[in-house]
Chains A and B, each alone.
Chain A
Amino acid sequence: MSAVSFANVSRHFGAVKAVDGVSLAIAEGEFFAMLGPSGSGKTTCLRLIAGFERPTSGDIRIFGESVADLPPYKRHVNTVFQDYALFPHLNVIDNVAYGLMIAGQGRKQRHAAAEEALEMVRLGGYGTRKPSELSGGQRQRVALARALVNKPRVLLLDEPLGALDLKLREQMQEELKGLQRQLGITFVFVTHDQGEALSMADRVAVFNDGKIIQVGGPEDIYFRPEVPFVADFVGSSNVLPEALVARLTGERCPAAIRPERLRLASDGPLKARVTGLSFLGLTTRVSFEAEGTRLTALLPQDAPRPVEGETVGLTWAADDLHLMRAGA
């Protein structure tokens, strides 16, 4: 039985199809990421699971139970909000204990459970502070503890790391992953950051225009994009248009090639003009223009470096050119 399943679910706001015919199944205990640009429908999908939105059509099930008529307060899922949504008039311990208070637990009991949850996110002893006295990273942990203390069967996370700086974000990624392994709860995680999705999730669903474009493990998504959108958005791969691929290989479909797999060779099959170079440390990023297509290559520092404006030949190994189907 899936933890969460969508059967042809749509959510339309007037003429806007925020979610349009989405079907998916999230397994129990899975770390599932919903990845896509803003406005792609991933957050609406999360809100449909939480119950803040109701589907225009289709069926949503949580552990087999249809939740179409269940308000948020009757669903055994909890959410970590993008802006954390901590209650400013309550201190940290009462924020964390809120769900238990609503459930009718006594003060002593719920405070003990809340303190335990705070220790789990390494904020033991912070109970008497107000949310306004915490840093962004600490608030994020409080929001996490407030959701987890209720022992949800599914935890929903809406861009929870979006407001943190890079270093903190990387640290929290590790911690979230560790918590999920330790607790065995199903995590559904919404993000627009492909690195975050690929590094944390067991499976990733790529969204665009209210539809799921591709679902798969991080490596599938990264190395075997099915359509140009996934290649471009997830892998920042070079996408070669159909006409170019037809001339190079004879196949009539678009293809993707990763920037680190492009090499310079004077006899290479593709002639390209160098339009820019930037030093990235480990590699140098070189931008090209070839027959109206923009390409990027990452060259190791010991490789010969071209000059801007020069026309060079590009080559690659045959299996690095990944053929895709046309479409979104």
Chain B
Amino acid sequence: MSMAQTSDSFSQTRSEGIGTRLSDTLWRRPGLLLILLLLPPVLWLGIIYLGSLFALLLQSFFSIDHFTGLVNYEFTLKTYAELFTPANFDIILRTVTMAAICTLASAVIAFPIAYYAARYARGRWRAVFYLGIMMPLWSSYLVKIYAWKLILAKEGILTWALEGLHLNWLLDAYLSLPVVGGNSLSVSPTGTFIVFVYVWMPFMILPIQAALERVPPSMLEASGDLGARPAQTFRHVLFPLALPGIVAGSIFTFSLTLGDYIIPQIIGTSRLFIGQAVYQHQGIAGNIPLAAAFAVVPIVIMGFYLWGAKRMGAFNAL
């Protein structure tokens, strides 16, 4: 047998299609494959996402001529200064306060649920848990909010139920409180708070659960073994180890509350939140620069929030 024949039989004789040749080329140049795989998402992110963000940032440095209603394409910080007028600053303050309170409440409610799911739920109960957490995310956001409107409204289910229990004086007393109260829950800041906490809850539970799942039971036993009462174990071991999950969850609840404009429009007072301000200024008012400046506010706040969380050591356990 000659050498030529040997090499012939080695490099397969069947005819090579274009697919095979393409595979061979990619096998020889793995970098090419990486480029092909990454190009579409990078283009998508780069042009559509970052591009629009950049355009937004740019707009916020322009200003509007209040007489003509036309955008003046000259670089200025005038629009940002407008954010600090009492009316606008009030909107920012209200939104940030609401976002902070919602985040805190979500964390407090989500922690025991996540702890149960991570430590005790097994097999079928685990599936039930995931279904229970995720199901609200499958139904339409608007439907859920209107459902809450029906629950919280003056003639709603809650009032009806409390009347049945002869406890409506309790609700009335609460609604007569300043700041948090109102005519009914559905037009009070408390209503907005309840619905925000409900809608964002899965985003808080899941990261905390993921963090707690990585804490082996022996870690908590070790703490008890070394003399720590359950409350001390929570403070010194469980909470620090869950903190990255809590921070991850709070990034969702905080930023989603900062940007939302539908919930406060349907449930709550007529006072504006940042999202509504952005919506109104870019729409009817045609004040794109001010809308852009408003939209930058949550981005800046989140930046500071993450920076602060990192400094506090929230990511040390990662």
Residues of A whose CB lies within 8 Å of any CB of B are 50-52, 71-73, 77-79, 81-83, 85-89, 98-99, 101-103, 146-147, 150
Q: Is the CB of B317 within 8 A of A72?
A: no
- Proximity string of chain B (234-275) to chain A, C-beta cutoff 8 Å, 1 when within and 0 when not: 001100110000000000000000000000000000000000
B222–A85 touching, CB < 8 Å:
yes
B241, A72: Cβ atoms closer than 8 Å:
no
Give the contacting residue for A146; candidates B218, B226, B317; CB below 8 A.
B226
Partner of A89, one of B223, B229, B240: B240
Q: Does B162 contact A (CB under 8 A)?
A: no
Interface check B221, CB cutoff 8 A: yes
- Other-chain residue from B216, B225, B240 in contact with A79 (beta carbon distance below 8 A): B225
Give the distance to chain A from B265, nearest Cβ to Cβ, in Å: 42
9 nearest A-B residue pairs (beta carbon) = A99-B226, A85-B222, A85-B218, A72-B224, A89-B317, A102-B227, A102-B228, A89-B240, A79-B225
Please name the residue on chain A nearest to B224 by beta carbon: A72
Q: Which residues of A contact B226 (CB under 8 A)?
A: 73, 78, 98-99, 102, 146-147, 150
> Is the pair B218, A81 in contact by a Cβ cutoff of 8 Å?
yes
Neighbouring A residues of B317 by C-beta, 8 Å: 88-89
Query: Range of interface residues on chain B?
Result: 10 to 19
Q: Does B52 contact A (CB under 8 A)?
A: no
Kindly list chain B residues whose C-beta atoms are within 8 Å of the C-beta of A89: 240-241, 316-317
Q: Which residues of B contact A79 (CB under 8 A)?
A: 221-222, 225
Q: Which residues of B contact A103 (CB under 8 A)?
A: 227
Chain B residues with CB below 8 A from A102, complex form: 226-228, 232, 236
Give the CA-CA distance A103 to B232 in the complex, in Å.
Answer: 11
Q: Closest Cβ of chain A: how far from B126's Cβ, in Å?
A: 19
Separation of A99 and B236 alpha carbons in the complex (Å): 11
In the assembled complex, the CB of B230 is this many whole angstroms from the nearest CB of chain A, namely 8
Contact yes or no, B236 A98, CB < 8 A:
yes
CB proximity of A80 to chain B, nearest CB, Å:
9
19 additional A-B residue pairs with CB within 8 Å, beyond A50-B225, A87-B237, A89-B316? A51-B224, A72-B224, A73-B227, A79-B225, A81-B221, A81-B222, A83-B218, A85-B221, A86-B222, A87-B222, A87-B241, A88-B317, A89-B240, A89-B317, A102-B226, A102-B236, A103-B227, A146-B226, A150-B226
- Interface membership of B219, Cβ < 8 A: yes
Q: Which residues of A contact B229 (CB under 8 A)?
A: 73
- Bound Cα distance A52, B217 (Å): 11
Tell me which residues across on chain B come within 8 A of A85, comparing CB atoms. 216, 218-219, 221-222
In whole angstroms, how far apart are the Cα atoms of A146 and B219 in the complex? 13
Identify which of A50, A79, A87, A147 gathers the most chain B CB atoms within 10 Å of its CB: A87
Q: State the CA gap A85–B219 with chains docked (Å).
A: 5
| Interface-central residue, B216, B218, B225, B237, by most chain A CB under 10 Å | B225
> Which residues of A sit under 8 angstroms from B240, Cβ to Cβ?
89
- Measured between C-beta atoms, what is the minimum distance from B26 to chain A in Å? 37
Complex: A86 Cα to B237 Cα, angstroms: 10
List residues of chain B with CB within 8 A of the CB of A88: 241, 317
Tell me which residues across on chain B come within 8 A of A81, comparing CB atoms.
218, 221-222
Q: In the bound complex, what is the Cα–Cα distance between A77 and B224 (angstroms)?
A: 11
Contacts of B216 in A (CB 8 A): 83, 85
- Structural contact, A71 and B224, CB atoms closer than 8 A: yes
CA gap between A89 and B25 in the complex, in Å: 47
- Name the residue in A71, A82, A89 with the highest tally of chain B Cβ atoms < 10 Å from its Cβ: A89
- On whether the beta carbons of A73 and B224 are closer than 8 Å, the reply is yes
Q: How far apart are the CA atoms of A82 and B221 in the complex, in Å? A: 12
21 chain-A/chain-B pairs, Cβ below 8 angstroms = A72-B225, A73-B224, A78-B225, A78-B226, A79-B222, A79-B225, A81-B221, A85-B216, A85-B221, A85-B222, A87-B222, A87-B223, A88-B317, A89-B240, A89-B316, A98-B223, A102-B226, A102-B228, A102-B232, A147-B226, A150-B226
| B225 (CB) vs chain A CBs: closest residue | A79
Q: Which residue of A lies closest to B220 (CB)?
A: A85
B222 and A150: CB pair below 8 A? no
A92 to chain B, nearest CB (A): 15
For B240, the closest partner residue in chain A by CB is A89
> A135 → chain B, closest Cβ, in Å?
19
Q: In the assembled complex, how far is the CB of residue B245 from the closest CB belonging to chain A, in whole angstroms?
A: 13
A150 to chain B, nearest CB (A): 7
Which residues does chain B contribute within 8 Å of A147, judged by CB atoms?
225-226
A-chain residues with CB within 8 Å of residue B228 when the two chains form the complex: 73, 98, 102
Q: Smallest distance from the beta carbon of A55 to chain B beta carbons, Å?
A: 17
Of residues 87 through 113 on chain B, the ones whose CB sits less than 8 Å from some CB of chain A are: none
Cα A10 to Cα B223 in complex, Å, equals: 26
Question: Within residues 193 to 229 of chain B, which ones have a CB less than 8 A from any CB in chain A?
Answer: 216, 218-219, 221-229
Bound CA–CA A109/B216 (angstroms): 30
Chain B residue contacts of A73, Cβ below 8 A:
224-229
Complex alpha-carbon distance, A82 and B317, angstroms: 21
